[in-house]
Amino acid sequence: MKTVTKAPSGKPRLTTSAMIASIAAEGQKTKPAPFGHALVKLARTRSEVIGMTADLGKYTDLHIFGKEFPDRYYQMGMAEQLLFGAASGLAAEGFMPFATTYAVFASRRAYDFIHQTIAEESRNVKIVCALPGLTSGYGPSHQATEDLALFRAMPNMTVIDPCDAHEIEQAVPAIAAHHGPVYMRLLRGQVPVVLDEYGYEFELGKAKLIRDGKDALIISSGLLTMRALEAAKVLADDRVDVGVLHVPTIKPLDADTILREAGKSGRLVVVAENHTVIGGLGEAIAGLLMRSGIHPTFRQIGLPDEFLDAGALPTLHDQYGISAAAVAKQIKGWL
């Protein structure tokens, strides 16, 4: 939760503890540690499932699994390269490792080990990483703003960016049913619950139209689907009708659904993502549209191609244009 004090002006002022704030809005429904609980449920029926982490069990919600299955829980210490090399070896022996760390450490510190020992060998390792995109206020050392671009480029790698607790719970058994390496972004702690209101069900490789709209279509993933739905409600008050197409599987893309929805004439298409505008969902969709001969009015909402500031998350989300209010303002300005 964010901590607030009064500034001399009398306005609320966020303190530094808000740098590790939950992404949940005030009063928003949440679930605690959906990944940890979903993995425990899966492991009760799949004896090959093991949990591995690099000194971050508590901060990736894997400690819940460790408490339930201490003999299947491997704490590898602050050694991410060792974590993924060992996960590959265990997968080669028939286990299904769920390996967790922060997204910056998997995508930057251990990239070559994942590339060579997991992806090239198509090992059945599930890489589940917290603090994706701008979900940490601790600056570039902890902000994984380019992880999707890096893992999209890796052959054999399936890439998932779930929106909320409801989807994380469904994604865990789905990625376990898929044989092969998976990179999944993780929202941890008290995670908002949003998609249950729409009767949503996660399917690996499938995009889902959450709501339709005649004026604009937001194509989004992860946290930005949550913000897109909030922005659509705000814009509806101004008689702007906005649809939201949620794309949780970044690779492989659901080309058929994206082309069908983006190809409807007469509306603005906006791709929104919690990731740099370089190499992520936006450019993946732009390339798909161009290659398919579909040319809507197209815009991107994402993080800039720069090292981001440290600070309180609500402030940073406004600053970099990914808060619900900022998303609504940008779309209204484009229409």
Residue 55 tokens, joined: 């000194």
Q: Is 80 a catalytic residue?
A: yes
Measure the CA–CA gap between 114 and 335, rounded to whole angstroms.
Answer: 43
Question: Is residue 50 within 8 Å of residue 73, measured between CB atoms?
Answer: yes
Catalytic residue, candidates 26, 48, 80, 197: 80
Q: Residue 154 corresponds to which tokens in the numbers above?
A: 């890796």
Could you give the residue numbers annotated as active site?
Answer: 80
